[in-house]
Chains A and B, each alone.
Chain A
Amino acid sequence: SQKIEQNSEALNIQEGKTATLTCNYTNYSPAYLQWYRQDPGRGPVFLLLIRENEKEKRKERLKVTFDTTLKQSLFHITASQPADSATYLCARTTSNQFYFGTGTSLTVIP
């Protein structure tokens, strides 16, 4: 089956460091992957989309990479801040559906 997987372990980092989250996919080749942020008790919010022909996409302190050989997307937050603490989800889409990974909880320690 087609799967999208994230490291379910929580990630704790020191403020100012770079946080790196991983999203792996198996048994398919997505045309693009997306990353969302979810705060407790709220719906996910779209952050970035990266297409298969793009190696890297940036938005302010956020950077996403897409390695079709490794079947992996990495999500980086540089100069992390306590306000970046949240759960980050990657997602793949088909023609009609969105499928989400289980998310990685990030805590930035002041």
Chain B
Amino acid sequence: SQTIHQWPATLVQPVGSPLSLECTVEGTSNPNLYWYRQAAGRGLQLLFYSVGIGQISSEVPQNLSASRPQDRQFILSSKKLLLSDSGFYLCAWRWGAEAFFGQGTRLTVV
């Protein structure tokens, strides 16, 4: 069966520090992968999606970037975090018409 792993679960980082969040999917190949951010009390904002290795589409301009170095690995990065980058980050993959989410990373920038 397919599973999605996302880590870490929580992260506290100082302003200006770098960020790397990793997401991996097991049990499938060539999945569509997604990074979402959810601010407190807000909806899910699509940040990036990828339909294949090295193929990244950005939905909104921001302080973040994404990479897909391997078929089932999706990485969210930042060189210098801002306070506004705080939020709940979710990785997801697509199976047919359904999205399957990881458990999320709660990022607090202090």
Given contacts A42-B104, A49-B98, contact A96 B43 (CB under 8 A): no
Seed contacts A34-B99, A43-B101, A93-B97; 4 additional CB < 8 Å A-B pairs: A44-B101, A46-B100, A99-B46, A102-B42
Q: How far is the CA of A41 from the CA of B49 in the complex (A)?
A: 22
> How far apart are A41's CB and chain B's nearest CB, in angstroms?
7
Interface residue SS majority, chain B: strand
Beta-carbon contacts of B65-101 to A below 8 Å, as 1s and 0s?
0000000000000000000000010101010011111
A43 to B49, Cβ gap below 8 A? Answer: no
Report B18-51 residues with CB < 8 Å from chain A CB.
Answer: 32, 34, 36, 42-44, 46, 49, 51
B101 to A103, Cβ gap below 8 A? Answer: no
B102 to A43, Cβ gap below 8 A? Answer: yes
Name 18 interchain pairs, CB-CB below 8 A, sorted by A: A34-B98, A36-B99, A41-B88, A41-B104, A43-B101, A43-B103, A44-B44, A45-B101, A49-B98, A89-B44, A91-B99, A93-B97, A96-B32, A96-B49, A96-B57, A97-B49, A100-B36, A103-B43
Q: How far is the CA of A66 from the CA of B100 in the complex (A)?
A: 23
B97 to A49, Cβ gap below 8 A? Answer: yes
> How far apart are A11's CB and chain B's nearest CB, in angstroms?
15
- Chain A contact patch, size range: 20 to 34
B46 to A98, Cβ gap below 8 A? Answer: yes
Q: How far is the CA of A101 from the CA of B58 in the complex (A)?
A: 19
B106 to A100, Cβ gap below 8 A? Answer: no
A42 to B43, Cβ gap below 8 A? Answer: no
Report A17-50 residues with CB < 8 Å from chain B CB.
Answer: 32, 34, 36, 41-46, 49
* Chain B residues, CB < 8 A from A34: 97-99
B43 to A100, Cβ gap below 8 A? Answer: yes
Q: How far is the CA of A103 from the CA of B44 in the complex (A)?
A: 9
